[in-house]
């Protein structure tokens, strides 16, 4: 297998992009990535997108986007693993380059979510849960994560305030990210008094509905060296699955797929959790960040809430988590999220993260998750 | 100079509280109250509709203007709840006030700005010298689907304005309209309840058009927010007019006299016109007043008015808007409200 490098990243401001269509949002990000890499031709393209069919009534987007990017007849594939579709696209692009099938691969992620109303968006997102054993009984994602939160609070004494502190931290970081959808700061009191969504989760515990795209250019490290580009290597890609239905899991406070994906990634990169300098995790809800930190081995099981309270994961903390603002503040266009996480880590390792820069970061990790943890994808990045 | 010679309001006495609606739908009332800044809304009685409220508001306007209704040359009712799809509302109003037959009448529809449209055209005809007096009315018994966010605000009310050249209460110094094709809220034929684009009704719709119209008319009139005593914006909920006021540089005290929505709800075509009747009720001679409506689809009409000495003579000749809003209130339970709003259908 060949070593793989990221040589280009591209992303525009995320938000409610009513004046732009899916293809427009995607091609903007893809062109920025091509420009950043200094290439204009690609050998293949992988796009992560969860549900363009339900959100904008368009399938077959791999060819559509290759066309609008001016890249036909390159092979192009659209991959889906719910909210981990972006992470899966990165993994598939990595395999494409590592295997020698392609040299220059564009990995993109996109979701256009605001062309439908709130009920339709909730329905589309709900398809990432088990239709027959979860959705038919009326539960939606805020409800599933609320169950996880309540259980975590009961079992480990995690407090309502600690959940709020995840949102406060991520909005603090997001306020330093000009591409974030909600770059405002907030405070614990504001989170605790925001609109109730699914007890104990309030609106400021939830990631938003977002339009956005993100793109990366991958190539073999040898080629990257010839192009004289700043090199960030992808030194591991780990993926794992779990039951889609939360009720089928042994422990609803433990995200086994993330644990398994991380275990594989750590082994592949020859790293341990304590070797990681900066982390982007899938904080679709505040409780998710706490559970994921535990499953990644960044903190002990049950200690996620306390770690946030103690500032361990703050920008200046021992292990900064979600320096981009996370899904919470940066936004969560589901198919694009996994790719954008990689962009933040690449920027950190290139020392291009501006006021969010983690000094001397050499090793970074991304964790992208589908549904309530039915799939997880972990990548490890290192400075070339 | 041409301007408003009489104004009048009509508000049903029935109210329903946000808590009462939220209770039925299992919704979190404090969240709605905080999110919308609305506590209760008006509800029309079974015998009240756009026409009856227009008649009441117009009679109040006639009391203040003191003119002979037979001299009214044009009557326009703006509403999205005209009782008939085919058959004008304006003819009933014209007949009821004794303005027929020598009068031009038409019904207007442009979501929540149909009222200011009627005012705009009535004023235009007076200014052109084609008619002596013109009447523009904004009235609605607005529809909101049961359980929809709109149900907490969709209310009923009417405001009527008579325009003329003499005994003017408020001179029209400037007018301005700002229109684009922006589908944020709509109701197709044969649909009973409107649909809306959720958050799309905010920035690209309400805020874009109101700021566009407000900046346009202030620029045309050479005015800054500080030159204006009072300002009225369309009030779909409590928050939007306060936020758009802040965006434009107005202080809360300039907005508050016409900000009725927390106790009235959104009276659609009657919304900003009723804000103006309440504002004229407390205005002093010389005050400059700005009104900017908003109608989905989308557009905003603006008027800059200058209140004259005449206000002191006419103010008390008809009920004041805040009196109508605050007195003789009858709170409804949801069941009665559902009956009044024809949400319950009896067997044939």
Q: Closest-CA residue in chain A for B200?
A: A18
Residues on chain A bordering chain B, Cβ-to-Cβ distance under 8 angstroms = 16, 18-19, 114, 117-118, 195-196
What pLDDT, on the 0 to 100 scale, is given for residue B146? 93
More confident residue, A272 or B31: A272
Quick one: A276 and A378 in the same domain?
Answer: yes
Q: Evaluate the CA torsion angle A208, A214, A219, A222 in order and state its sign.
A: negative
What pLDDT, on the 0 to 100 scale, is given for residue A90? 98
Query: Which one of B26, B30, B31, B204 makes the best mutation probe of the A interface by having the most chain A beta carbons within 10 Å?
Result: B31
- Residues A146-180 have pLDDT tens digits of 999 999 999 999 999 999 999 999 999 999 999 99
Quick one: A225 and A240 in the same domain?
Answer: no
State the SS3 of chain A: CCCEEEEEEEECCCECCCCCCHHHHHHHHHHHHHHHHCCCCCCEEEEECCCHHHHHCCCCHHHHHHHHCCCCCCCEEEECECECHHHHHHHHHHHHHHCCCCCCEEEEEEEECCCCCHHHHHHHHHCCCCCCCCHHHCCCHHHHHHHHHHHHHHHHCCCHHHHHHHHHHHHHHHCCCCCCCCCCCCCHHHHHCCCEEECCEEHHHECCCCEEEEEEEEEEHHHHHHHCCCCEEEEEEEEEECCCCHHHCCCCCCCHHHHHHHHHHHHHHCCCHHHCCEEECCCCEHHHHHHHHHHCCCCCCCCHHHHHHCCCCCCCCCCCECCCCHHHHHCCCHHHHHHHHHHHHHHHHCCCCHHHCCCCCCEEEEEEEECCCCEEEEEEEEEC
Q: Closest-CA residue in chain A for B35?
A: A195
Active site residue A332: yes
Asked whether residue A351 is assigned to any structural domain, the reply reads yes
Quick one: A98 and A226 in the same domain?
Answer: yes
Q: How far is B338 from chain A (nearest CA, A)?
A: 24
Quick one: A268 and A227 in the same domain?
Answer: no
Q: Closest-CA residue in chain A for B202?
A: A16
- Residues B307-320 have pLDDT tens digits of 999 999 999 999 99
Which segments in chain A show pLDDT lower than 70? none
The pTM of this model reads 0.87
User: What is the share, in percent, of chain A residues with pLDDT greater than 70?
Assistant: 100
Quick one: A92 and A171 in the same domain?
Answer: no
Among the candidates A197, A232, A267, a domain finishes at: A232
Active site residue B80: yes
CB spacing of B31 vs A195 below 8 angstroms: yes
CB spacing of B28 vs A16 below 8 angstroms: no
What CATH number does residue A361 fall under? 3.40.47.10
Quick one: A100 and A142 in the same domain?
Answer: no
Quick one: A104 and A150 in the same domain?
Answer: no
Total domain count, chain A: 2
Asked whether residue A156 is assigned to any structural domain, the reply reads yes
Quick one: A140 and A159 in the same domain?
Answer: yes
Cβ-Cβ contacts under 8 Å between A and B: the total is 17
Quick one: A140 and A223 in the same domain?
Answer: no
Which tokens sit at B324?
């109508």
Mean pLDDT of B69-88: 97
The reply to whether CATH 3.40.50.150 applies to domain B170-307 is no
Q: How far is A150 from chain B (nearest CA, A)?
A: 20
Asked whether residue A125 is assigned to any structural domain, the reply reads no
- Residue numbers in A near B203 (CB within 8 A): 16
- CATH code that applies to domain B3-169+311-340: 3.40.47.10
- Residues B212-230 have pLDDT tens digits of 999 999 999 999 999 999 9
Quick one: A13 and A148 in the same domain?
Answer: no
Q: Closest-CA residue in chain B for A195?
A: B31
* Average pLDDT across chain B, whole number: 96
Mean pLDDT of B11-35: 94
Range of the domain at A327: 130-205+235-383
Which one of B28, B199, B204 has the shortest CB-CB distance to A196? B28
Query: Which one of A15, A16, A197, A210 makes the best mutation probe of the B interface by having the most chain B beta carbons within 10 Å?
Result: A16
Quick one: A295 and A372 in the same domain?
Answer: yes
- Residue numbers in A near B198 (CB within 8 A): 117-118
Comma-separated ranges of CATH 3.40.47.10 domains in chain B: 3-169+311-340, 170-307
Q: Would you say A243 and A288 are in contact if contact means Cβ atoms under 8 Å apart?
A: no
Quick one: A225 and A270 in the same domain?
Answer: no
pLDDT at B343 over 90: no
Asked whether residue A147 is assigned to any structural domain, the reply reads yes
Per the DSSP assignment, residues forming a β-bridge with B135 are: B75, B162
pLDDT at B348 over 80: no
Asked whether residue A197 is assigned to any structural domain, the reply reads yes
Asked whether residue A362 is assigned to any structural domain, the reply reads yes
């Amino acid at each position: 297998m060949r070593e793989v490098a990221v040589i280009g990243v591209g992303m525009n401001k995320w938000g409610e992009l009513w004046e732009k269509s899916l293809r427009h949002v995607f091609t903007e990000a893809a062109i920025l990535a091509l420009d950043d890499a200094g290439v204009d031709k690609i050998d293949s393209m992988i796009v992560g997108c969860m549900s363009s069919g339900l959100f904008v009534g368009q399938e077959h987007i791999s060819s559509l986007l290759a066309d609008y990017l001016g890249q036909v007849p390159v092979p192009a594939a659209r991959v889906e693993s719910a909210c981990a579709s972006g992470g899966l696209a990165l993994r598939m692009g990595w395999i494409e380059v590592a295997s020698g099938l392609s040299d220059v691969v564009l990995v993109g992620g996109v979701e256009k979510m605001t062309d439908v109303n709130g009920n339709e968006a909730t329905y589309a997102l709900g398809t990432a849960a088990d239709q027959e054993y979860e959705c038919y009984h009326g539960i939606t994602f805020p409800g599933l994560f609320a169950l996880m939160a309540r259980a975590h609070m009961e079992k480990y004494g995690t407090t309502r305030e600690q959940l709020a502190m995840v949102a406060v931290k991520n909005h603090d970081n997001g306020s330093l990210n000009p591409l974030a959808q909600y770059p405002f700061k907030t405070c614990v009191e504001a989170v605790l008094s925001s609109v109730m969504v699914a007890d104990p989760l309030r609106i400021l515990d939830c990631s938003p509905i977002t339009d956005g795209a993100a793109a990366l250019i991958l190539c073999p490290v040898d080629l990257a060296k010839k192009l004289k580009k700043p090199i960030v290597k992808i030194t591991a890609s780990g993926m794992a699955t779990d039951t889609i239905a939360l009720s089928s899991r042994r422990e609803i406070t433990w995200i086994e797929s993330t644990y398994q994906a991380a275990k594989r990634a750590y082994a592949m990169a020859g790293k341990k959790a304590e070797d990681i300098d900066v982390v982007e995790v899938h904080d679709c809800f505040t409780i998710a960040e706490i559970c994921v930190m535990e499953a990644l081995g960044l903190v002990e099981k049950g200690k996620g809430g306390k770690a946030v309270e103690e500032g361990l994961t703050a920008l200046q903390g021992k292990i900064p988590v979600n320096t981009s603002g996370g899904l919470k503040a940066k936004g969560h266009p589901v198919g694009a999220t996994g790719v954008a996480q990689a962009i933040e880590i690449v920027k950190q390792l290139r020392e291009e993260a501006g006021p969010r820069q983690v000094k001397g970061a050499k090793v970074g990790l991304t964790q992208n998750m589908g549904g309530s943890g039915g799939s997880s994808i972990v990548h490890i990045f290192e400075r070339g | 100079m041409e301007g408003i010679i009489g104004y009048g309001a009509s508000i049903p006495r029935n109210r329903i509280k946000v808590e009462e609606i939220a209770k039925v739908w299992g919704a979190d009332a404090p969240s709605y109250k905080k999110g919308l800044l609305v506590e209760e809304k008006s509800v029309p009685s079974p015998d009240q509709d756009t026409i009856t409220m227009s008649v009441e508001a117009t009679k109040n306007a006639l009391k203040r203007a003191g003119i002979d209704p037979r001299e009214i040359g044009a009557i326009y009712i703006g509403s999205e709840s005209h009782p008939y799809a085919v058959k004008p509302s304006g003819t009933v109003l014209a007949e009821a006030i004794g303005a027929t037959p020598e009068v031009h009448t038409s019904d207007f529809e442009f979501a929540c700005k149909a009222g200011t449209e009627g005012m705009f055209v009535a004023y235009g005809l007076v200014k052109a010298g084609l008619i002596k007096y013109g009447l523009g009315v904004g009235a609605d018994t607005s529809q909101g689907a049961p359980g929809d966010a709109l149900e907490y605000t969709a209310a009923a009310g009417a405001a009527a304005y008579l325009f003329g050249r003499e005994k003017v209460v408020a001179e029209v110094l400037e007018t301005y309209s700002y229109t684009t094709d922006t589908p944020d809220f709509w109701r197709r034929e044969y649909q009973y309840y409107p649909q809306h684009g959720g958050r799309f009704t905010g920035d690209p719709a309400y805020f874009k058009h109101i700021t566009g119209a407000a900046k346009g008319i202030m620029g045309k009139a050479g005015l800054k927010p500080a030159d204006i005593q009072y300002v009225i914006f369309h009030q779909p909920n409590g928050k939007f007019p306060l936020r758009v006021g802040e965006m434009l540089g107005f202080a809360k005290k300039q907005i508050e006299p016409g900000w009725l929505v927390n106790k009235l709800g959104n009276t659609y075509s009657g919304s900003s016109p009723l804000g103006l009747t309440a504002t004229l009720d407390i205005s002093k001679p010389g005050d400059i007043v700005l009104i900017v409506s908003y109608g989905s689809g989308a557009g905003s009409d603006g008027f800059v008015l200058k209140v004259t000495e005449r206000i002191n003579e006419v103010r008390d000749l008809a009920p004041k808007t805040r009196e109508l809003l605050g007195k003789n209130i009858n709170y409804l339970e949801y069941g009665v409200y559902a009956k009044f709003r024809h949400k319950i259908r009896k067997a044939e």
